[in-house]
Chains A and B, each alone.
Chain A
Amino acid sequence: MFSRKQNTSASVSTDITNKRQRYETLVMSLHTDIYRYAYWLVKDKAIAEDIVQETFLRAWKSLDSLKDEKAAKSWLITILRRENARRFERKQFNLVDIDDVAIIDDKLSNEVEIEHRELRAIMASLSDEYREPLMLQIVFGYSGDEIAQQLHLNKNTVMTRLFRARNQVKEALEKSHDGLENING
Chain B
Amino acid sequence: MDDLMFRRTLYADPDCTDADILKAAAQDPQKQLFWDELKRLNNDLLGASKVPVPDGLLDKLMLPAASVTSNTNKNKALTSWAMAASVAMVAGFSLMLWQQDKLDLTAQAIAHVHHDGEYALGSTQLVSLEQVNSQLATLGGKLLANVGQIYFASFCDFEEVNSLHLVMQGEKGRVSVFIVPHNETYSGQGSAQDEIYTSYGADFSRASIIVVGAEESDITKMQTQLRQNIQFSA
For A57, the chain B residues whose CB sits under 8 A away are 64
Q: Are B220 and A162 in contact (CB under 8 A)?
A: no
Interchain CB contact under 8 A, B46 and A138? yes
Q: Are A123 and B48 in contact (CB under 8 A)?
A: yes
Interface-lining segment among A28-36, A86-94, A176-184: A28-36
User: With A25-B220, A31-B57, A144-B13 known to touch, is A104 a contact of B51 (CB < 8 Å)?
Assistant: yes
- Asked if A79 CB lies within 8 Å of chain B CBs, one says no
CB 8 Å contact bits of B1-23 with A (1 = contact, 0 = none): 00000001001111000000000
Q: Nearest residue in A to B223 (C-beta to C-beta)?
A: A28
Q: How far is the CB of B57 from chain A (nearest CB, A)?
A: 6
- B49 interface neighbour in A28, A60, A107, A135, Cβ under 8 Å: A135
A162 vs B223: C-alpha distance in the bound complex, in angstroms?
37
From B45, B50, B60, B217, name the one whose CB has the most chain A CB atoms within 10 angstroms. Answer: B45
B residues 145-197 in Cβ contact with A at 8 Å: 189-191
Q: How large is the interface on A (under 10, 10 to 19, 20 to 34, 35 or more residues)?
A: 35 or more
Distance to closest chain B CB from A31 (angstroms):
6
A29 to B189 alpha-carbon distance, docked (Å)? 11
Q: Which residues of B contact A167 (CB under 8 A)?
A: 11
In whole angstroms, how far apart are the Cα atoms of A16 and B41 in the complex?
A: 46
Q: How far is the CA of A35 from the CA of B91 in the complex (A)?
A: 18
Tell me, yes or no, whether A39 is within 8 Å of chain B by CB.
Answer: yes
Give the docked Cα–Cα distance between A143 and B65 (Å).
Answer: 32
- With A24-B220, A35-B54 as given contacts, are A53 and B100 in contact (CB-CB < 8 Å)? no
* A122-148 with Cβ < 8 A to chain B: 123, 134-135, 137-139, 143-144
Given contact pairs A49-B57, A104-B51, A107-B100, A28 touches B191 in the complex (Cβ within 8 A) = yes
Tell whether, in the assembled complex, residue B48 and residue A31 are in contact, meaning their CB atoms are under 8 Å apart.
no
Q: Which residue of the partner chain B has the closest CB to A16?
A: B69
Cβ-defined contact, A27 with B62, below 8 A: yes
**Is the CB of B234 closer than 8 A to any CB of chain A?**
no
Query: Is there an interface contact between B8 and A29, defined as CB atoms closer than 8 Å?
Result: no
Q: Is the CB of B44 within 8 A of A115?
A: yes
- Given A105-B101, A166-B11, the answer on whether A40 and B62 have CB atoms closer than 8 Å is no
The answer on a CB contact under 8 Å between A116 and B64 is no
B101 x A116 contact (CB < 8 A) = yes
- Range, interface on chain B: 35 or more
A160 within 8 Å of B by Cβ?
yes
Whole-angstrom distance between the Cβ of B190 and the nearest chain A Cβ: 5
Q: Which B residues are in CB contact (< 8 Å) with A53? A: 57, 60-61
**Chain B minimum-CB-distance residue to A160:** B12
Whether B124 sits at the interface, judged by CB under 8 Å, is: no
Q: Which residue in B38, B48, B220 is a CB contact (below 8 Å) of A28?
A: B220
Given contacts A23-B65, A163-B12, A169-B41, contact A36 B101 (CB under 8 A): no
| C-alpha gap A163/B6 in the complex (Å) | 11
A163 x B200 contact (CB < 8 A) = no
A123 to B49, CA, bound (A): 8
C-beta contact mask, A44-73 vs B, less than 8 Å → 1, else 0?
Answer: 010001001100110010000000000000
Q: Is B221 an interface residue (CB 8 A)?
A: yes
Q: Decide if A105 touches B46 in the complex (CB within 8 Å).
A: no
With a cutoff of 8 Å between Cβ atoms, the chain B residues found around residue A40 in the complex are 49, 51
B14 contact set on A, CB distance < 8 A: 166
B33 at interface by CB-CB < 8 Å: no
Give the residue of A17, A56, A162, A173 whose beta carbon is less than 8 angstroms from that of B12: A162
- Residue positions of A touching B, CB distance < 8 A: 9, 13, 16-17, 20-21, 23-25, 27-29, 31-32, 35-36, 39-40, 45, 49, 52-53, 56-57, 60, 104-107, 112-113, 115-117, 119-120, 123, 134-135, 137-139, 143-144, 158-160, 162-163, 166-167, 169-170, 173
Q: List 8 A-B contacts (CB under 8 A).
A: A28-B219, A29-B198, A56-B61, A105-B100, A115-B44, A123-B45, A143-B13, A159-B13
